[in-house]
Amino acid sequence: MLILDGFSKSYKDTAAVERLSFEVKPGEVLALVGPNGAGKTTTMRSIAGIIPPSAGHITVAGFDIVKQPVQAKGRLAYVPDDPKLFDALTVDEHLEFAATAYGVSDYKPKAEALLARFELAEHRRKPAIELSRGMRQKVAICCAYLHDPTLVMLDEPLTGLDPRGIRTMKETIVERARAGAAVIVSSHLLQLVEGLCTNLLILHKGKRVFFGNIAEARETFAGAGGDDSLEEVFFRATEETKPPSTPAADGVA
């Protein structure tokens, strides 16, 4: 569903991401983690077609994000860590706008289900400027889900959500993956995403430190107990002076 092959992004003389390669298959949930400045957001924004890669190739559902941007973007959804809504538009109008942008005909039944699921129905006529941080997050997620993307990218999706909202968010991620979508979740809340992800990608200083499933991560960065949490794996992977890399670190695993 998603393939990155030798992706690099530089800003003048600064390399944000270097020769990054990985893939996400249908039904997989990838946890994208790393310290601040590791290149996580740059990678997600490039996959979404917001910023162009400096080198390498990004393919979404078989379409090159640079050469076939319309086809690729039509099959993905990206929710940034601080989604920007249109202040003057109501919740309903945001969903109508998203449906029009992605050509979703007869969208209202699906929109109604999303509003009910994320407890937004009673706020549907409120303009975005009157919504709380958590409700704005929910609106962005509903708009992202509306066209049934085959690739879903969520950057800090749990920020601002209350406990019920967090549970709903996690449930929908699992459901999307079971329906065949590929999902990428980037979050610093490692305990909360640990039960969601099937695979793990750790970035450090713009480079891939690890890519594989959770069991492989624990084996690679094993502690004395041998049953480390994702948080413990993360710290071992990023605190090494020369962190180990997985086989074929410069090629698609």
pLDDT at 3: 98
Q: How far apart are CA 128 and CA 136, in angstroms?
A: 7
pLDDT at 245: 47
What's the pTM? 0.89
The lowest-confidence range among 15-24, 39-48, 65-74, 234-243 is 234-243
Give per-residue pLDDT as tens, 140-154. 999 999 999 999 999
Contacts of 137 (CB under 8 A, 6+ apart): 79, 83, 157, 159, 160, 161, 165
Contact 125, 91 (CB under 8 A): yes
The lowest-confidence range among 2-16, 190-204, 235-249 is 235-249
pLDDT at 246: 42
Segments of the chain assigned to CATH 3.40.50.300: 1-75+149-253
For domain 1-75+149-253, give its CATH number from 3.20.20.70, 2.60.120.10, 3.90.550.10, 3.40.50.300. 3.40.50.300
pLDDT at 237: 87
240 — pLDDT class (breaks 50, 70, 90): low
Pairwise pLDDT comparison (84 vs 229), residue with the higher score? 84
Evaluate if residue 39 carries a pLDDT over 90.
yes
pLDDT at 229: 83
Pairwise pLDDT comparison (187 vs 2), residue with the higher score? 2
Give per-residue pLDDT as tens, 97-120. 999 999 999 999 999 999 999 999
Beta-bridged to residue 167, according to DSSP, are none
